[in-house]
């Protein structure tokens, strides 16, 4: 198989990449990188050589001889490289810009603040306990979701932008999954909840669910 | 003037957007949004209506009737919409993917952790003082820069990717500016330093410098 996805079942960024690969109907091999076991396999060789940032995911496309990090760069690459399946960005440049902005509202303004390495750091360096780690996560997720819920009022249909799936939905669903883990009350975000639920009825999303991965547990 | 940029002189994301507008040789009006004065103008009307995330920048393109947030969405939009000046992404999809990945290494993995709202929050909620805020910033910037310095060894020429400016340089220069503010020792990152210095000799970058903005001070 020419596509190899290095990642972790519960990582939001890996989850996004799985959804995109599934929507593009691509075959890929999952190579688990355990983020917790023995201090984290992402910090050890051989993975750290593949991705010096020691973060997941990393995609290797052997046909193109490319090793690529950053889920959003990977997803745009897949969309430009492969015609199969679902387009992940709209054709019109204004619409594409809006989709990207909503994707970054999640991928730049929420997720980087609530990921594992940040939680490990605030616990280790600032003695923040589990209860306060959850408070921290809820704060940033709720701040982000409040703005996104407002934006969706003018764009949403069945999905974030009308009736076509896009990169925005690919980012939203893993963030909703993550919000649930940290006890965010999703009833406050009816559009977000409805869109996530619509997405989760699709096979591409269902097969990408963390608990359906070989390394889950 | 049909392009209006709402932003703050010292915001990294606004700084990126200014560089891109300058490289595209576009005229634009700067509308300052003061992030600190009176609790932050970004949280007040009329700005908060324009951008419910209450973050900067926001670009308004009146010709297209579009209001756009997220610096990276704005920059890709400008590149797709306007043929003038410098292309901001390479034409080849593999190269474009690599440029985007490096841009996100900064815009998703460093900058979201060291921006004003996060520093205000860790001070207010967790009592972290100025000295420890600087430590926090240096930690995340150095972690990111170490990985980026390693990646640049295989890609850098005069700029991050060979001899063509790109989105990666547009993200790198404001992060270097920000690193200097927080006392990061840039001698540890010779490629990053050299590239930033090459960029800063260009008029587009020089005119985008925070201290050259009308609201600086």
ipTM of the complex: 0.97
Burial class (CB in 10 A: 0-12, 13-18, 19+), B136: buried
What's the pLDDT at B1?
66
SS3 A55: coil
* CA A197, chain centre distance (Å): 16
Contact criterion met (CB below 8 Å) for A67 and A74: no
Please list every residue in chain A whose beta carbon sits closer than 8 Å to the beta carbon of residue B54: 147
Q: How far apart are CA A54 and CA A42, in angstroms?
A: 5
CA nearest neighbour of A17 among A205, A195, A182: A205
Compute the count of residue pairs across chains A and B with CB atoms less than 8 Å apart. Answer: 120
Subunit contact A101:B146, Cβ cutoff 8 A: no
What is chain A's mean pLDDT, rounded?
A: 97
User: Given 1.10.3720.10, 1.10.340.30, 1.20.1050.10, 3.20.20.10, which CATH number is that of B93-204?
Assistant: 1.20.1050.10
Q: Do the Cβ atoms of A99 and A151 come closer than 8 Å? A: no
CATH for A3-86 (3.90.45.10, 1.10.10.10, 3.40.30.10, 3.40.50.150): 3.40.30.10
Two tokens, residue B203: 């008029």
Contact: B97, A66; criterion CB under 8 Å: yes
Three-class DSSP category at B47: helix
Chain A residues touching B126 at Cβ < 8 A: 122, 126, 128
Query: A1 pLDDT band (50/70/90 cuts)?
Result: low
Q: Classify the C-alpha dihedral A46-A50-A55-A58 as positive or negative.
A: negative
Share of chain A above pLDDT 90, in %: 97
Average pLDDT over residues A20-42: 96
On chain B, the residues whose CB falls within 8 A of the CB of A81 are: 93
Residues of chain B with C-beta less than 8 angstroms from the C-beta of A141 = none
What are the tens digits of pLDDT across the range B65-99?
999 999 999 999 999 999 999 999 999 999 999 99
Q: Average pLDDT of chain B?
A: 97
Say if the Cβ atoms of B64 and A151 lie within 8 Å.
no
Q: What is residue A217's predicted lDDT score, i.e. its pLDDT?
A: 85
How many angstroms away from the CA of A198 is the closest CA of chain B?
Answer: 25
Tokens of B175: 């992060």
Separation in Å, CA A17 to CA A178, A199, B141: 15, 15, 25
Split at pLDDT 50, 70, 90, the class of B15 is very high
Distance from CA of A73 to the nearest CA of B (A): 5
Closest by CA position to A107, among listed A139, A138, A144: A144
**Does the beta-carbon distance from A97 to B76 stay under 8 Å?**
yes
Which residues make Cβ contacts (< 8 Å) with residue A189, sequence separation at least 6?
Answer: A145, A146, A148, A149
Strands B58-61 and B29-32: unpaired
Residue B217 pLDDT greater than 90, yes or no: no
Q: Which residue has the higher pLDDT, A211 or A1?
A: A211
Of residues A210, A167, A175, A178, the one with CA closest to residue A192: A175
Cα A90 from Cα B101, distance rounded (Å): 21
The domain limits of chain B are 3-86, 93-204
Q: Give B108 to chain A, closest Cα distance, Å.
A: 5
Dihedral angle sign, alpha carbons of residues B192, B196, B199, B205? positive
């Amino acid at each position: 198989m020419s596509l190899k996805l290095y990642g972790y079942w519960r990582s939001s960024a890996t989850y996004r990449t799985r959804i995109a690969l599934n929507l593009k109907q691509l075959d890929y091999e999952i190579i688990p990188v355990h983020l917790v076991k023995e201090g984290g396999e992402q910090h050890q060789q051989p993975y750290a050589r593949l991705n010096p940032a020691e973060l997941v995911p990393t995609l290797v496309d052997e046909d193109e001889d490319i090793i690529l990090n950053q889920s959003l760069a990977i997803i745009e690459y897949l969309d430009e490289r492969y015609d199969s399946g679902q387009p992940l960005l709209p054709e019109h440049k204004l619409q594409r810009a809006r989709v990207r902005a909503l994707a970054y509202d999640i991928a730049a303004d929420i997720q980087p603040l609530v990921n594992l390495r940040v939680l490990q750091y605030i616990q280790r360096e600032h003695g923040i306990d589990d209860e306060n780690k959850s408070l921290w996560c809820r704060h940033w997720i709720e701040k982000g979701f409040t703005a996104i819920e407002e934006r969706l009022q003018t764009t949403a249909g069945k999905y974030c932008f009308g009736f076509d799936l896009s990169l925005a939905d690919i980012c939203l669903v893993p963030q909703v999954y993550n919000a649930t883990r940290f006890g965010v009350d999703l009833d406050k975000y009816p559009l977000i909840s409805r869109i996530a639920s619509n997405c989760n009825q699709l096979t591409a999303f269902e097969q990408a669910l963390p608990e359906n991965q070989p390394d889950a547990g």
